[in-house]
Structure 1
Amino acid sequence: MLLDAASLYFRSFHGVPDSFTAPDGTVVNAVRGFLDSVAYLVTLRGPQRVVACWDNDWRPAFRVAAIPSYKAHRVANPRTNTEEVPDLLVPQVPLIVEALELLGICRVGADGYEADDVIGTLTARQVAAGRGEVDVVTGDRDLFQLADDAARVRVLYVGRGVRKLEMVDEAWLSAKYGVTSGPMYAEMATLRGDPSDGLPGVAGIGEKTASGLLKRFGSLSALRAAAADPASDLSPGQRKKLVEASDYLEAAPAVVTVAPDAPIPDLDDELPSTPPDHQALVAFAEKWGVESSVSRVVQAMTKATA
């Protein structure tokens, strides 16, 4: 199970009331929500290995170089390239890091890469090694591109909440978006664009048109070749839109596609049956008022590894 950690803790922060506080008054709604999410997911799926995948770089230089508008609207400080994060969430992120360490749950990031790339890389390694199924947990549609029935990779989409998660496989992608594979979803997303990530897409080509064109021509490269060929049966309007977006379409795939080769060391990602230092975990839970959430995670770990 690969957790898109930031996606989970941001959603926890916004989804759990900030009336949940530690004994010293510190708001711990994101910590509580994150831990409860992990407990629920581990109980539901029973993974033997779990990795919390981290954003060491939320806006990597290689993506900004390709498309300067990438996440530009979410930059809090242009000088340091830091992300806008709610003030009450900032002090909770180190607590989530500490909780994962005390629970013995593997956490990893890669300098110069996003959590999406960590997930993409670990998924690629798992598939290459034939080590079994992969559950990718995220509230980010970008990772739908990893869904692969043959490789037994599913995306557990928590956009509507962890308890309302949707199991994204190729049939789900076909029913929802009219695309037949994870890579085709990425190409559709390239054409459609994503304002939340600062990706403009191709003007005048929305989701349905994009998926229809990709099904008709088979791939983005074939579609672009048709746009460049006056003899193709593309409509003049669609040809014009695609040709005018040539620079964007040249750069965007490197931004939209998750990296399969981020520099990640070999990991000890086995889910422990019990925390490595029970007393330290109890002290942490009491200090921050998250005893029940920590207890639920420990129970889920024990059950999954039994």
Structure 2
Amino acid sequence: MTQRLMLLDTASLYFRAFFGVPDKVKAPDGTSVNATRGLLDIVAKLVTLYHPAQVIACWDDDWRPQWRVDLIPSYKAHRVVEAVSSGTDVEEVPDPLEQQIPLIREALSALGIPIIGAAEHEADDVIGTLASRATMPVDIVTGDRDLFQLVDDARDVRVIYTARGMSNLEVVTDATVVAKYGVLPSQYADFATLRGDASDGLPGVKGVGEKTAASLLQAHSDLAGIRAAVADGKLSAAASARFAAAAAYLDVAPDVVRVATDLDIAAPDVPLRALDDARADAARAFAEQWNLGGSMERALAAIATA
């Protein structure tokens, strides 16, 4: 069996768990545990289905980095609930989920799954860096299509896409991206820049939707090629006017949309394997303390047979 590195877009998964698992069962102190239970079950399912050699939980140390906001002020602005005195934006997260985030970190650590973040960067950037440096095939688990830009058949980097639910996972390869959008994964960041993305506060180029963006990239390879064609008068007057109006956005958007691949981080050499008796007992005690039910046991069992 091929040895694969699995990179988790952790926030994407725990948000999915929070909204997908009813908030009926609580810890003894009244803390909600639905996201924690759900994430453990997600880990168990992923490990059972894909048998990774290593799993890393990639973390948003900064979900809305200031350097991206400086370039595009609308970046994720609709998700901000307030600006605290430190100047750090606060993401809109339901209180019962916010309370579980430390618990989620403890649960992952109890399973021996490393958690990696990077200052002033998002989990996407951690994933991009680790995927680019991996010495084995990579599975990126996310519900965020922005990470399609990292798909690379030549290096056997694929996305396990969760947007349609954990019962309907989709393995995204080069062919998948081409079939869905008409562009190669290497063109996806430029495609997203042109199309825009309301969920990330990216305006895109007015009048350029997915089909137009794809056709422009098919004809001119990348955003630089499209802008060169505009400068050379090779596009229609209407298209040229759209790109002229969006020039300031297009000057900076690629740096916002492209995930980083050069952070000063490294994947720890921690193979996914069954915990020894002492650590397994500690994980079970932790699960009992927080009323995690069978979710921890299912995760332990999946890891033991990975």
Category of TM-score, reference length = shorter chain:
over 0.9
The Cα shift of 1:183 comes to 2.1
TM-score using structure 1 length: 0.94
Counterpart in 2 of 1:270?
Answer: 271
1 CA distance for matches of 2:156 and 2:143?
20
Aligned-residue sequence identity (percent) comes to 56
User: Alignment length, in residue pairs?
Assistant: 297
The residue that corresponds to 2:37 in the other structure is 32
Instruction: Name the structure 1 match of 2:155.
Output: 151
For residues 216 and 19 of structure 1, what CA distance do their matches in structure 2 show?
53
Question: Is the CA contact 1:36–1:297 (under 8 Å) kept in the aligned structure 2?
Answer: yes
Q: Which runs of 5+ in 1 are unaligned?
A: none
Matched, 1:241 2:246: no
Q: For 1:114-263, what aligned pairs fall within 5 Å after superposition?
A: 114-126=122-134, 131-179=135-183, 181-230=184-233, 232=234, 234-263=235-264
2:103 match:
95
Residues 266 and 45 of structure 1: CA distance in aligned 2, closer, same or farther (over 3 Å): closer
C-alpha distance in 2, partners of 1:20/1:223?
54
| Matching of residue 13 in structure 1 with residue 18 in structure 2 | yes
| 1:66 equivalent in structure 2 | 71
CA distance in 2, matches of 1:16, 1:207: 33
Distance 1:72 1:266 in 2: 31
Unaligned 5+ segments in structure 2 are 1-5
Q: Is the 8 A contact 1:105 1:272 kept in 2?
A: no
What amino acid maps onto 1:242 in structure 2?
Answer: F
Q: For residue 52 of structure 2, what is the amino acid of its counterpart?
A: P
For 1:27 and 1:9, the matched residues in 2 are separated by 13
SS in 1 for 2:283: helix
2:65·2:120 contact (CA, 8 Å) conserved in 1? yes
Which runs of 4 or more aligned residues in structure 1 lie more than 3 Å from their structure 2 counterparts after TM superposition?
none
Residue 3 of structure 2 aligns with which residue? none
| Structure 2 residue matching 1:3: 3-state secondary structure | strand
For 1:287 and 1:97, the matched residues in 2 are separated by: 15
CA distance in 1, matches of 2:68, 2:167: 33
Distance 1:229 1:151 in 2: 36
Give the TM-score, by structure 2 length: 0.94
Q: Partner of 1:283: helix, strand, or coil?
A: helix
Instruction: Give the distance between the partners of 1:224 and 1:252, measured in 2 at CA.
Output: 13
Q: Which residue does 1:111 correspond to in 2? A: 119
Q: Which amino acid aligns with 2:66?
A: A
SS in 2 for 1:17: coil
- Residue deviations 1:77-130 (CA, integer Å, cap 9, x gap): 22331211101101111111001111111111001110000000000111xxxx
CA distance in 1 between partners of 2:267 and 2:37 (Å): 29
Q: Structure 2: how far apart are the matches of 1:117 and 1:38?
A: 21
Preserved contact between residue 284 and residue 297 of structure 2 (Cα < 8 Å): no
Shift of 1:21: 2.2
Distance in 1 (CA, whole Å) between partners of 2:240 and 2:188 is: 21
The aligned residue for residue 295 of structure 2 is 293
